[in-house]
Amino acid sequence: MGPLVPDIISNEFNFIIAIIVGMGFGFALEQAGFGSTRKLVGLFYGYDFTVLKVFFTAGVTAMVGITALNHLQLLDVDIIFINPTFLWAAIIGGVIMGAGFIIGGFCPGTSVVAAASGKIDGWAFVFGAGLGIFAFVESYPLVKDLMVAENLGYLLVFEMMGISREAFALMMIFVATGAFIGVTFIENKVNNRTTQWLKKDISKYSIAVGLAVITVLLTIITPSRGELMNKRIDAKLAAGECKPQMMADDKLAYELMNQYYLYNVVDVRSPEEFKKFHIPTAINIPLEELHKHDNINRIVQNIKTNVFYGASYEQAQRACLVSKYHGKADNYALNSTADQFQQNFFMLGDEQPKNKMDHETYVFRKEAAQKLIEIGEAVANLDKPVVKKTKRVQGGCS
């Protein structure tokens, strides 16, 4: 489950990773010819479109890869670094950089590559970039307001356009392919070469583009892991097999009073409903989020027995099946709903039933309600599972 830092790879080792991927980055840029300033600015005069070809291919490759990894739930796109959008800073900063590009002939990454292969102009650009950054830092109080104006947050371009991630990836593949064909014509015209399409090249590039398209199409067609799980559970429910073990509410109350530490009571309703009323000691994981990585870790454990309850019996049953699907055998579904539990235990009138059996139940439930509240308060801070806060990765260039 990516990203691997910081859970699988430590933050310290991440510096070693940085050197390794940096080497790959530098190697790729140098091989592409980005250490040469004339090759870079060729883009703007039409004689060499290498920058566009490399840049677009790299962007689309990574984009398709992220889409596929996200679909396979190997990469959590909700926590990877997304460049935040501060509209004015992005536009004005970009315009200033564009001017710097044409005057200086590099961008910061390529200037480092040029410097590494001995180009004095590369060194000059790196030095200039340092001066520019120094100027920025010293004038920071003046540009601070511009920096934070029009904050649109972690805005994604496909959300902005109202389409899906996959559709945008597909679109970019076609835009890039179209651009590659277009610039090849321009490039040949500027350099006075005739454009010829070799059969060998056409088939080679068609296969590459085709593979990218197929990858994205597969992510659209095939169900994600969550969908697959729900489908299988639906099939089992429809077939009427695998009924979860049931637990009556009196039994749960009794168990909690005597050995609450053996039970992991899970409320699968929404947080709002949970806030209004929940069985003491219960934790809240909404049913739709139960299959998520972090939540599975909270229910698939060896120490406690899970007891699920929700707004309806079906919710509890489904939660049981989700838990079972992920490998936890020891699950119970509560026989009654959250509302029934509240009625039975916490909203008893003062009038005592005449019937002896009902009277006993009444007394037990009254006591239980009292005791459960005490236990609930006592363990409120002690016994809750530690919720691991997954934070968005900090990154970017600034």
Partner 1 sequence: MNEAPKKYMNPYLAGFFLGFVLLTTIYVTGRGLGASGAIKSFVVQTVETLAPAHAATTDYYISQKENNPGGPLKSWLVFEVIGVVIGAFLSAVIANRVSVKIEKGPGVRNGVRIAGAVFGGALFGFGSQLARGCTSGAALSGMAVMSFGGIITMMSIFGMAYAIAWFFRKLWINKTN
Q: Which is nearer to partner 1, 44 or 254 (CB)?
A: 44
Strand-strand pairing, 305-309 and 331-334: parallel
Residue 151: phi, psi to the nearest 5?
-75, 110
Question: CA angle, corner 36, sides to 34 and 37, nearest 5?
Answer: 100
Q: How far is the CB of 389 from partner 1 (least distance, A)?
A: 15
**Nearer residue to partner 1 within complex by CB, 112 or 334:** 112
As given in the structure block, the two tokens for residue 99 are 């001017």
Between 31 and 352, name the residue whose CB sits nearer to partner 1: 31
Using an 8 Å Cβ cutoff, are 202 and 54 in contact? no
- In the complex with partner 1, the residue whose CB is nearer, 302 or 394, is 394
Closer Cβ to partner 1, 116 or 348, answer by number: 116
Question: Is there a contact between 369 and 257 (Cβ–Cβ < 8 Å)?
Answer: no
Shortest gap between Cβ of 217 and partner 1 (angstroms)? Answer: 18
- Shortest distance in whole angstroms from residue 184 CB to partner 1: 11
- In the sheet that holds 263-267, the strands lie side by side as 245-247, 331-334, 305-309, 263-267, 283-284
Contact yes or no for 74/2 (Cβ under 8 A):
yes
Angle at 163 between CA 157 and CA 164, to 5 degrees: 90
HSE of 102 in the Cβ direction (CA atoms, 13 Å)? 8
Which CB atom, from 64 or from 282, has the smaller least distance to partner 1?
Answer: 64
SS3 label, residue 247? strand
Distance (Å, whole) CA 81 – CA 28? 22
Judged by beta carbon, residue 28 or residue 235, the one nearer partner 1 is: 28
Nearer to partner 1 among residue 49 and residue 274 (C-beta): 49
105 and 125 in contact (C-beta within 8 Å)? yes
Q: How far is the CB of 295 from partner 1 (least distance, A)?
A: 20
- End-to-end Cα separation, the chain, in angstroms: 27
* Residue 304 phi, psi dihedral angles, 5° rounding: -110, 155
Shortest Å distance, C-beta 255 to partner 1: 42
How many CA atoms does the CB half-sphere of 265 hold within 13 Å?
Answer: 24
Place of tokens 């099939």: 235
